[in-house]
Chain A
Amino acid sequence: MWLPDWPIQRRIVARPELDGQAVVLYGREARRGERVRACSPAAWQRGIRPGMPRADAAVLAPAASAAIHFMAHDPHQDRLALQELALACGRFSPLVGLNPTDPPDGLQLDITGVATLFGGEAALLEQVAIFFRQRGYRARLAIAPTCAAASAVARWGSASTIVPPGDLSQLAALPVAALELEEGVRQQLRHLGIGRIGQLQGLSRGSLGARFGRSLLVRLDRLSGAMGQTVVACRPRPSWQVERVFEHALADRGVLEAVLRELSVRLSQQLQAGGRGIFQLEGRLVCQGGQVRTMQVVFFQPAVEPSHLAALLQMHFERLDFPEGVQRIELAAVVTAARDRRQGRLFADSSPGDAAELAQLIERLSNRLGRERVVRAELAADAQPERAYRCLPLTGVPSGESPAAGQPGRWGSLYRPLKLDSPQGIGVLGVAGEGPPAAFFLAGRRHRIARSFGPERIETGWWRGPSCRRDYYRVETVLGQRFWLFRRLPDQRWFLQGEFT
């Protein structure tokens, strides 16, 4: 996606009254004074061109009625605004990045496997176009199998083009300028009369490489997809972040631990100043070879004490192995909350000492096993047994609501098994009509059923996809063991799902 004249567009969207007016952005350049960096179409018509001294451009404003709006160029703000847009485009794709040009003037969306959610590529393209139009931006869009092709077609092709995979004919018609080559190479090509990409594709790779350098081949390969190009995701930068870059890579664990402690102190100071506590902390160790090791530290309560942060970081660090020396360490607080916020009910009736002990236990367990493995359970209103509850991690998030105390069980104690597994197909014997079997086989053994209770019919809503229709039986074998079986109604097959241990 290309946003033509991005710096100008941004100003016009911010101040709609400038639309259609001559807008000129200027910047101060060393030894050359103030020069025009970009101008709106209206300014262009007046003869203003980028690179012109600002004073010359000012002369071209003949009357006060059609004044030229001079503004200072601010590339940093341009980039930030583009990043904002990239984040907003997260609704269309999980992976959105800025164009790799310098400065960036558009966005790249990886829509692999996403288009079906929007009703096809054409519909997605239309929705993205509407998204930008509503915000007042002029965007040129294209969908293509590679980043480079999409970028080239968006700039130089017809509007809203979709290039199907494997079709290079549309690319062949594009001018060589779409390859974004260096000025020298471009001039050489012009001298040789090569104006289209198709003409280049007709030449042998060997001669192209020898004459124009490797960069031309790289650009061509990126265009065709022979060489991969990644979209560098644009993510919101955590606002609480500290880092330390080393001149020489460090491999000594003791030293690295000391650095982690120091960073913990610095991060803690930042958080204290902002009145925040951490729920999730991400530590990144960037190794010499570019490999990154991450540590996800989670907290049960908003944490701010440097020793506390360092102790849990240490737990992760101990189990980390890094192949080479570490060049940079970053710590970022990914999830934070106001510090006066406390987890509620879990401790409501326990002493402060116990509460601290429990928080410590939960944090130790969560950081060793992973936060998804230390959870609390909550009953859910769902007929399907395996969906009748949900598990919520205890750490890493400020808990919105405290768990409801004493949720009563909805069944009698003997009605639901304490051990529930995913349904396992079993062989049965002696099924009489709609009733339960007389025996079933489990792990090569025959279990004769002495008594059974049921059926309990469980059906789920059609709106949730493939519906589930089952007849459940609690069965007691002749040895007194109790199991939970069900018959799947559509195909009459039998499954074992639980054990009343």
Chain B
Amino acid sequence: MAVSPEQHQSDSSGRGARPGGRSSALPVEDEARQALLTRLQGRIRQLETRAPLTGSSVIGSGCAALDRLFPDGGVRRGSLVEWIESRPGGGAGSLALQFARQACRHDGMLVVMDRWAQVYPPALAAWGIDLARVILVRPNDLQEELWCWDQALRCTAVAAVWGELRQIDSRAFRRLQLAVEGQGGLGLLLRPAAARAEPSWADVRVGVEPCAALQNRRIRVRLLYCRSSAARGQVDLEWEEWNGQLRKSVPAHPGGVVAGLAHSAADRRSTGA
């Protein structure tokens, strides 16, 4: 699924977009050139990842605003996605779960890596995950944990692997990336804030930051890196308090948001965060 540059622009704030590049409107005669560029980009991606890009190989979250953040309109099967949560309790796990749910909606299992035995199955069910399709895996140590990720990502019957991975070295990361690329599953890695400074083999890196809000649960999602694409951007999303529906955040009252941010900055100073 291709996304027009205009569409992309509409969701990207000025900070994340490239200055003066793709975002400017193209004249009609340049359409052929644009098509050629898109085709070439697709070709590069094919060469890089082996798997050809087809309609079913992109998984959306079910929230259009979030999907538009990604150049392909979602995350591709056969890729590793790193979800970097800037603070605990920030909502990265829930956001990644939206993709996991979509990935195994029709077929395939969801493997939940739970080394610390903290994942709460009733909450998975509350997010619409069918527990009959979930395999909970609880490795004993880091070595086993990496081995389990590798095994699960290599299995064609597994649609997605979701779990917290606090620590991983570059070589193991590369192995996981090769494993997932060969099989067409989806690896959703929840990483701590410190991981942002570490080298990564993930195909997509997403930063998730919780935001203060007066109503609903608000998060800011940043596309930090996307393989074979220069697209960067960010979008503010919120979950509706009463039904958990994810949608683009609309500041209802400008004063309210400003007040909220000021509140947040003041607190950051007071707690030394």
Contacts A379-B122, A480-B211, A501-B190; A361 near B218 (Cβ below 8 A): no
Q: Does B257 contact A (CB under 8 A)?
A: no
CB contacts (< 8 Å) of B28 on chain A: these are: none
How large, as a class, is the contact surface on chain A?
A: 35 or more
Report the separation of the CA atoms of residues A13 and B94 in the bound assembly, to the nearest whole angstrom.
67
Give the distance in Å from the alpha carbon of A210 to the alpha carbon of B263 in the complex: 92
In this complex, the member of B88, B119, B122, B139 whose beta carbon has the largest number of chain A beta carbons within 10 angstroms is B122
Closest to A382 in B: B122
- With A376-B132, A409-B125 given, is the CB distance from A358 to B158 under 8 Å? yes
Q: How far is the CA of A98 from the CA of B40 in the complex (A)?
A: 80
Q: Which A residues are in CB contact (< 8 Å) with B140?
A: 369, 373
A364→B151 contact, CB < 8 A: yes
Taking each of A364, A416, A447, A501, which has the highest tally of chain B beta carbons within 10 Å of its own beta carbon?
A: A501
**CB–CB B268/A403 < 8 A:** no
Question: Shortest CB–CB separation between residue B258 and chain A, in angstroms?
Answer: 15
Closest to B155 in A: A361
* A448: interface (CB < 8 Å): yes
Contact partner of A365 (CB less than 8 A), chosen from B151, B217, B243, B273, is B151
- Is the pair B132, A405 in contact by a Cβ cutoff of 8 Å? yes
What CA separation (Å) do A326 and B213 show in the bound complex? Answer: 67
Q: Can you name the residue of chain B whose Cβ is closest to the Cβ of A390?
A: B121
Is the beta-carbon distance between A416 and B130 smaller than 8 angstroms? no
* B-contacting residues, A352-387, CB 8 Å: 353-355, 357-358, 360-362, 364-365, 368-369, 373-379, 385
Residues on the B chain within 8 Å of A369, using CB: 137-140, 144, 148
Which residues of A have CB within 8 Å of B58?
none
Contact check, B136 vs A379: say whether CB atoms are below 8 A apart: no
- In the docked arrangement, what's the CA distance between A91 and B10, Å? 72
Q: Are B87 and A481 in contact (CB under 8 A)?
A: yes
A373 (CB) vs chain B CBs: closest residue:
B138
Contacts of A355 in B (CB 8 A): 157
**B210 contacts the other chain (CB 8 A):** yes
Q: How far is the CA of A92 from the CA of B118 in the complex (A)?
A: 38
Tell me, yes or no, whether A60 is within 8 Å of chain B by CB.
Answer: no
A134 interfacial contact with B, CB 8 Å: no
B167 in the interface (beta carbon within 8 A): no
B25 to chain A minimum Cβ distance, whole angstroms, is 36
> Are B85 and A448 closer than 8 Å at their CB atoms?
no
Q: Does B126 lie at the interface of the complex (its beta carbon under 8 Å from any beta carbon of A)? A: yes
Asked if A350 CB lies within 8 Å of chain B CBs, one says yes
Q: How far is the CA of A85 from the CA of B122 in the complex (A)?
A: 45
Contact of A403 among B132, B241, B242 (CB under 8 A): B132
> Does residue A320 face the partner (Cβ distance < 8 Å to B)?
no
Residue A137 interfacial (CB < 8 Å):
no
Q: Is B147 a contact of A368 with CB atoms below 8 Å?
A: yes
A11 to chain B, nearest CB (A): 54
Q: A410-B122, A412-B242, A421-B118 are in contact. Are A373 and B131 (CB under 8 A)?
A: no
Say yes or no for A225: interface residue by CB 8 A criterion: no
Q: Are B89 and A358 in contact (CB under 8 A)?
A: no
Q: Which of B88, B108, B147, B157 has the most CB of A within 10 A?
A: B157
0/1 string, A451-486, CB within 8 A of B gives 1 = 001000000000000000000000011111111000
Contact B157 A501 (CB under 8 A): no
- Which residue in B107, B121, B132 is a CB contact (below 8 Å) of A350? B107
Interfacial residues of chain A within 420-455, with CB under 8 A of chain B in the complex: 420-421, 445-448, 450, 453
Chain B residues with Cβ below 8 Å from A413 are 94, 123, 126-128, 239, 243-244
CA distance A476 to B213 in the complex (A): 9
- Residue total for B at the interface (Cβ-Cβ under 8 A): 65
B130 touches which of A388, A405, A411 (Cβ 8 Å): A405
Residues of A within 8 A of B109 (CB): 346, 358
Q: What is the CB-to-nearest-CB distance from A303 to chain B, in angstroms, rounded to a whole number?
A: 18
B97 contacts across to A, CB distance below 8 A: 418
Name which of A418, A419, A448, A482 has the most chain B CB atoms within 10 A of its CB: A418
| Chain A CB within 10 Å, residue with most, of B123, B131, B218, B267 | B123
Residues of chain A lying within 8 A (CB to CB) of residue B241: 414, 453
Partner of B212, one of A374, A418, A450, A501: A450
Given A373-B138, A391-B136, A482-B210: A414 in contact with B85 (beta carbons within 8 A)? no
Query: Please, which residues of chain A bring their CB within 8 A of the CB of B157?
Result: 350, 354-355, 357-358, 361
Are B138 and A481 in touch, CB under 8 angstroms?
no
Query: Could you mark each residue 234-248 of chain B with 1 if its beta carbon is under 8 Å from any beta carbon of chain A, else 0?
Result: 000001011110000
**Complex: how many Å from CA A354 to CA B241?**
38
Report the nearest A residue to B87, measured CB to CB. Answer: A481
Contact B131 A376 (CB under 8 A): yes
Residue of A nearest to B129 (CB): A409
Interface bits B170-193 vs A (CB < 8 Å: 1, else 0):
000000000000000000001000
Say if the beta carbon of A345 comes within 8 Å of chain B.
Answer: yes
Cβ–Cβ < 8 Å partners of B91 in chain A: 482, 500-501
Q: Which residues of A contact B209 (CB under 8 A)?
A: 480
B125 touches A480 (CB 8 A): no
Q: Contact: A378 with B94, CB < 8 Å?
A: no
**Chain B contacts with A in 252-273, Cβ cutoff 8 A:** 263-264, 267-268, 270-271, 273
Would A409 and B122 count as touching, CB distance under 8 A?
yes
> When the two chains form the complex, which single residue of A350, A391, A480 contacts B219, counting CB atoms closer than 8 Å?
A480
With beta carbons under 8 angstroms apart, the residue of A349, A412, A478 that contacts B267 is A478
Q: Does A498 contact B (CB under 8 A)?
A: yes
Q: Out of B121, B126, B148, which one reaches A415, CB within 8 Å?
A: B126
B140 to chain A, nearest CB (A): 6
B87 proximity list for chain A (CB < 8 A): 479-481
Question: What are the 6 tightest A-B residue pairs by CB atom distance, in nearest-first order?
Answer: A413-B244, A480-B210, A409-B126, A377-B121, A501-B93, A481-B89
Show 9 A/B contacts (Cβ-Cβ < 8 Å), sorted by A.
Answer: A364-B151, A389-B122, A417-B123, A445-B273, A446-B271, A478-B212, A478-B264, A481-B89, A483-B89
